[in-house]
A and B are shown apart, each in its own frame.
Chain A
Amino acid sequence: MSADADITGRAIAAEPIVRRGVFRALLRNPLTAASLVVLALFAVIAIIQPWILPYPPNEVNLRLTNAAPFGSDYLLGGDNYGRDILSRLIASTRGAFQAAAVLSVVAVVIGTTAGLIAGYYGRVFDSVASWLFSAIMAVPAVIILISLYTLLGVSTTVAMAVFGFLVSPSMFWMVRTLTRNVRNELYVDAARVAGLPDRRIVGRHVLIAIRAPVILMIAGLAGAGIAVQAGLEFLGLGQAGVPSWGAMLTDAFGNIYVAPEQLIWPAVALGLVTSAFTLISIGVRDTLEGTYVKPSTRARRREIEALLGSAAAERTLGGTADAATATTATTSTSTSQPLLAIDGLRVAYESGGSLTTVVDDVSFRVEKGEVVGVVGESGSGKTQTVFATLGLLPEEAIVARGSIRLDGRELLGLPERDLLEIRGHRMAYVPQEPLSNLDPSFTVGSQLVHGIRAQSRATKKEARDLALAMLDRVGIADPLRVYRRYPHQISGGMAQRVLIAGAVACTPSLLLADEPTTALDVTIQAEVLDLLRDLQTETGMGVLIVTHNFGVVADLCDRVVVMRSGRIVEEGRVGDVFTRPQHEYTRMLLGSVLDNAAPREASARRKAAHA
C-alpha cells in the first residue's frame, strides 16, 4: 500500500495513549470506570463482610422460609431453608474473589514465566513449551474439575489453582508472541550488542510491552474464574456450609416454581461481577487498539457537512457515493471532449474532527489516446487522485470539492450501480504492488474470469478463452499453466502482467496505472513499460500513469503533471518540461534522476583518502 493511502485515524490515535498511561485513558471510558467502581465496591464488601452481615449466613429461621423480599426482617427475603438471602449474598463475595485471585495468580505465574522464556530465548524450550501448552488446551477443563471435586474431594482453592493451570495456555501464547515481537525490535538488538544483561532488557523493554495486555488477560480470566467456580457450585460441588452465589442459584433453581424471584439476587451479583471484569478487559483492549466504528452514511454526511459547510457536502462520500445529483459546474461546450477531465479536485481525510487535505485544487485533462504522467514524491497525492477517479477511495476519505468527468460524464456523486458499469469497462486500473493485488485464494484464471464476466455478458467458456488470449497477449509464454496457478506460485513480474491482462481485457478507453513498475526488478520494469506502450498504440486508449520516476515519463508519456503536497506545481508537454522546467520542485525531481546525473564524487573522494 502506498504511503499516502494509509491515512487512517486508527493507527495514529493508538500510539500516544499507550505512552500517556493506559490507566488514565481507561478512566475516561465510562463503562470501564463504572466497572472499576463496581469491583471496588464488591472488594470492600468482601473484606469487611464479617462486620456488616445482618444475620449469620447459615442461621435458619423457619418462620421466614421463602419470605418475600422487602417484607420481613430479611431485607431480600428468606430462602428455602429460612436463611437470610442478603447475608448469604454478602458472605459469598469472599469466595468469589478468592477464586478469581487464585486462578489469575496461577495462570499469570505459569503463563508469563513460560511465555517470557519461550519468547525471549526460543529454541528447545520454546518448542517443548509450545507443544505442552497446546496439549493443555485440549484438556476438557470443566470435566477434570468435576472429577477433582467428586473423586478427590479437593478444596475450592486447589480446584481453582488447577483451573488456573488449565487456562494458562492463553496467557502463555499471548506473552510469547508479544515477547518475540519486542525481542526482534532493533533497539533490543542494540541493547544486547551494547552488552546489557538479559535481566535488564526484559525488565526495561519486554515487561513494559506486555504489561497492559497481561492486565487485560487477568481481568478476563478473573471473570471467567468466578463464572466457572459459581458454575461448579451450582452443580453442587462447592464446600458444604460455605455460602456461595453458585449454591444460592442451585437452591433458588430448586425452588423455581415456589419463589422464582430468589434466582434474581445471586444472578445479579454474579452477573455484575463477571461483566465488570469483562468490561474492564474490553476497555483495556479498546484503549490499546483503539476501536473504529464505521459511522452510518447519514451520520457521516452530517459530520462532513459540519466540517465543510453544507454546500460542498452534497457531493459524495469517499468510496460510498450516494445518489446525490452531481452539480456539474461547467458542461463542456468545446467540440472535442477530453477523455478525462479533472477540475478543482479536493480530497481530504477526517480525523478527530479536523480535515487533512491530501489533494487540493487539482485540475488536468487526458485526451483520447494520450499518455499523461503524474509525477511527484510519495505523499504528493497522485495515488489519491487515481483512486478518486476510480471511485475507490478508502471509506475515511472525503471528496470535498471538484469534478471528475469521463467522456463528459460526471463520476463524482454517481451511484455505485452506475460506477460498476464504468469500472473495468470504460476505465481500468493497474496497481503498484503486483502480488498483494491478486486474491490469494483464487487461481489467476478464475479471478480474471470473474472480472471479465462482471463486465460483459460472456459465458464462462468465452470469458476463459478471452482470459487465455489476454495472458498470451501480455507476453506470458504458457498461458494455460499460469491460468491454473495460484498467485503465490508466480513471480512478481508475471503477476504484474496478469494484472495488466485483467485491466485491458475489456478494452477500456482509459487506463489508470499507479506506479506499475516500482515493485519490479529493473530488467522486468523495461519489459512491462514496453508492454504498456504496445497495448496503448494497439488499442488507442488514454493512459494516466502515476510514477515518481522521470525515466518512465520520458519513456512513455506525451504530457506530464508534476504534483507536490497535493497540488499541481507544473504541467506541460514532456519535452518542454524536461528541457525548461519552470518550477524549482520539478528541477529537483529531474536532478534526482540518476541516469542523467553526473557521477558523484564519492569515488574521487575515496581515491583522495587513499592517496
Chain B
Amino acid sequence: MLTYVARRLGIGVLVFVAVTGISYVLYHVRGADSIAYRLLGADARPEEVEIKVHALGLDRSLPEQYAGWFGGLFRGDLGESFVSNQDVTAIMSTRVPVTLSLIAATLVLTLVFSVVLGVWAATRGGVVDRVIQVVSVIVSAVPGYWLALVLVIVFALNLGLFPATGFIPITETFGGWLSTIFLPSIAIALGAIFSLAVWVRSSIIDMRRQDFVRTLRSRGLSPRSIMYRHVLRNAAPSIVQMLGLQIIALLGGAIIVERIFALPGIGQMSLDAGLAGDIPVVLGGVAFFVVVIVIINIAVDLINGFLNPKVRIS
C-alpha cells in the first residue's frame, strides 16, 4: 500500500513538472523583449526595455529561470508579480479559498445528489428513471456558464434569493459563505450531477445483476441492506472514478463561472494577469490547477485502492 501511494505521488510530481515546465517555455517563446514591451507599452524606449528585462531576470537562460522558479516552490515562493511586485503567494492567498470553496461545494453537491438520484432511478424505474435520463440529456447539453447566466437571471435578479456577485469567506459567516457559493456551484455541478446520476444508475443496475447479489438475497437480506451495504459498496469504485473525471472537467467551467458571479478566485486572477502580461501570476494559477487535478487523481486512486481489497491487501 505504501509503495502504491509513493508511486502515485511520484507520477503526480512528474506531471506537475511537465505541465509547468511546458507552460514556462510557452510563455517565454516570444522572447524577453516582447514581455517587457507588453508591460511597458509599445512605445517604450529600448533602454527602458533592457532595464526591465534585467530587473525581471528575463535575461537569464530559460532552464535557469525555471529552476529558480521551481526551487522557490520549496520555500513557498512563487516569485513576484511583474505588474505590482507583490509576492504571487500573497496575491493567491486570498483567492485560493474562493476557488477551493467552489470546487469543494461542487464536489459535495455532485456526489450527494448524483448518488441519491441514481439510486432513485435504479430502484424506482418507470417515470422517475425517464425524467432523470431526459433531464440529464438537457443539462449536459448546455455549458455550465450558460446555466450560470440563467440562474443569475432567475434567482439573483428576479427572485432576489441569492446575491448575484461577490464572496464572503467561510471564516466570517457560514450562512453568508453558503449564499455566495451556492448558485455558482449549482451552475457548475448541475450537468455533472445528472450525468453522474445516470452513471450511478447503470452501475447499480449492472451490480444488481451480479451473482453474489442473488445469493445474498437468497439468505434473506433485506433489499435496503443489499442496496446500501453490498450493491453501492461494490459500485463505489466506478462512481468515484467517474466523479474524479467529472470534477476535473468542470474546473474550466469554474473559471468562467467565477467571472459571471464576480468571485475573486484563482480563475479571475489568472485571466486578469494574462491580459496584463503578468507571467508569474499566470504560472501561479497554472500551478494551482495542476496541483488540484493531481490531488484529485491521487485521491481517486487512493480511495479506489482502499475500496478494493485486492489492492489494499497486496
Known: A151-B279, A235-B259. A420 touches B220 (CB 8 A): yes
A441 part of interface (Cβ distance < 8 Å) = yes
A409 part of interface (Cβ distance < 8 Å) = no
User: Nearest chain B CB to A387's CB is how many angstroms away?
Assistant: 8
B84 part of interface (Cβ distance < 8 Å) = no
B149 pairs with A253, CB closer than 8 A: yes
Of B25-33, B73-81, B102-110, which stretch is located at the interface? B25-33
A227 pairs with B143, CB closer than 8 A: yes
A392 pairs with B309, CB closer than 8 A: no
Question: A136-155: which have CB < 8 Å to B?
Answer: 137-144, 146-152
A394 part of interface (Cβ distance < 8 Å) = yes
A152 pairs with B126, CB closer than 8 A: no
Known: A235-B271, A253-B149. A275 touches B219 (CB 8 A): no
A609 part of interface (Cβ distance < 8 Å) = no
A111 part of interface (Cβ distance < 8 Å) = no
B211 pairs with A1, CB closer than 8 A: yes
B27 pairs with A147, CB closer than 8 A: yes
In whole angstroms, how far apart are the Cα atoms of A144 and B21 in the complex? 12
Classify the interface of chain B: helix, strand, loop or mixed.
helix
B293 part of interface (Cβ distance < 8 Å) = yes
- Taking residues whose C-beta sits less than 8 angstroms from the other chain, chain B's interface range is 35 or more
In whole angstroms, how far apart are the Cα atoms of A271 and B146 in the complex? 8
A454 pairs with B286, CB closer than 8 A: no
Chain A residues with CB below 8 A from B308, complex form: 441
B7 part of interface (Cβ distance < 8 Å) = no
B215 pairs with A437, CB closer than 8 A: yes
A274 part of interface (Cβ distance < 8 Å) = yes
A295 pairs with B137, CB closer than 8 A: no
B145 part of interface (Cβ distance < 8 Å) = yes
Instruction: Please give me the residue from chain A that is nearest to B283 by CB atom.
Output: A147
Chain B residues with CB below 8 A from A293, complex form: 125, 129-130, 133
Name, among A150, A223, A230, A271, the residue most crowded by chain B CB atoms within 10 Å (CB to CB): A150
Question: A438-467: which have CB < 8 Å to B?
Answer: 438-442, 447, 450-451, 454-455
Known: A421-B220, A424-B220. A441 touches B215 (CB 8 A): no
Name, among B141, B212, B218, the residue most crowded by chain A CB atoms within 10 Å (CB to CB): B218
A148 pairs with B313, CB closer than 8 A: no
A486 pairs with B313, CB closer than 8 A: yes
B197 part of interface (Cβ distance < 8 Å) = no
Chain A residues with CB below 8 A from B230, complex form: 439, 441-442
B214 pairs with A392, CB closer than 8 A: yes
A260 part of interface (Cβ distance < 8 Å) = yes
- Taking residues whose C-beta sits less than 8 angstroms from the other chain, chain A's interface range is 35 or more
B140 pairs with A278, CB closer than 8 A: yes
A567 part of interface (Cβ distance < 8 Å) = no
In whole angstroms, how far apart are the Cα atoms of A416 and B220 in the complex? 10
A423 part of interface (Cβ distance < 8 Å) = yes
User: Nearest chain B CB to A287's CB is how many angstroms away?
Assistant: 15
Classify the interface of chain A: helix, strand, loop or mixed.
helix
Question: B208-262: which have CB < 8 Å to A?
Answer: 209-212, 214-223, 225, 229-230, 233-234, 248, 251-253, 255-256, 259-260
Per-position 1/0 for A120-144, Cβ under 8 A of B: 0000000000000001011111111
Instruction: Please give me the residue from chain B that is nearest to A447 by CB atom.
Output: B216
B267 pairs with A143, CB closer than 8 A: yes
A142 pairs with B252, CB closer than 8 A: yes
B5 part of interface (Cβ distance < 8 Å) = no
Known: A275-B142, A429-B218, A451-B221. A436 touches B30 (CB 8 A): no
Chain B residues with CB below 8 A from A429, complex form: 214-215, 218
Chain A residues with CB below 8 A from B135, complex form: none
Chain A residues with CB below 8 A from B1, complex form: none
Chain A residues with CB below 8 A from B256, complex form: 142, 231, 234-235
In whole angstroms, how far apart are the Cα atoms of A544 and B122 in the complex? 33
Chain B residues with CB below 8 A from A135, complex form: 14-15, 18-19
In whole angstroms, how far apart are the Cα atoms of A231 and B29 in the complex? 26
B145 pairs with A231, CB closer than 8 A: yes
Q: Which of A143, A440, A489 contacts B270 (CB 8 A)?
A: A143
Chain A residues with CB below 8 A from B140, complex form: 278
B215 pairs with A231, CB closer than 8 A: no
Instruction: Please give me the residue from chain B that is nearest to A456 by CB atom.
Output: B220
Instruction: Please give me the residue from chain B that is nearest to A139 by CB atom.
Output: B19
B310 part of interface (Cβ distance < 8 Å) = yes
User: Nearest chain B CB to A1's CB is how many angstroms away?
Assistant: 6
Chain B residues with CB below 8 A from A25, complex form: none
Q: Which of B205, B251, B275 contacts A142 (CB 8 A)?
A: B251
B219 pairs with A138, CB closer than 8 A: no
B294 part of interface (Cβ distance < 8 Å) = yes
B223 pairs with A416, CB closer than 8 A: yes
Q: Which of B143, B217, B221 contacts A230 (CB 8 A)?
A: B143
A146 pairs with B19, CB closer than 8 A: no
* 4 A-B pairs with the lowest CB-CB distances in the bound complex, closest first: A296-B126, A150-B274, A142-B252, A275-B141
**Residues of A participating in the B interface, judged by any CB pair closer than 8 Å:** 1, 31, 135, 137-144, 146-152, 223, 227-228, 230-231, 234-236, 249, 253, 256-257, 260, 263, 267, 270-271, 274-275, 277-279, 282, 291-299, 387, 390, 392, 394, 416, 420-425, 428-429, 431, 433, 436-442, 447, 450-451, 454-455, 486, 488-489, 499, 502-503, 506
Q: A275-B137, A440-B309 are in contact. List 12 more A-B contacts (CB 8 A).
A: A135-B18, A142-B252, A143-B252, A146-B271, A267-B146, A282-B137, A293-B125, A392-B214, A431-B211, A440-B234, A454-B225, A503-B219
Can you report 24 A-B residue pairs in the complex whose CB atoms are below 8 A from each other? Answer: A138-B15, A141-B252, A143-B252, A144-B286, A147-B274, A150-B271, A151-B26, A151-B274, A152-B30, A227-B142, A234-B256, A235-B259, A236-B275, A256-B157, A271-B141, A275-B137, A293-B125, A293-B133, A296-B127, A420-B220, A423-B218, A441-B308, A486-B310, A488-B310
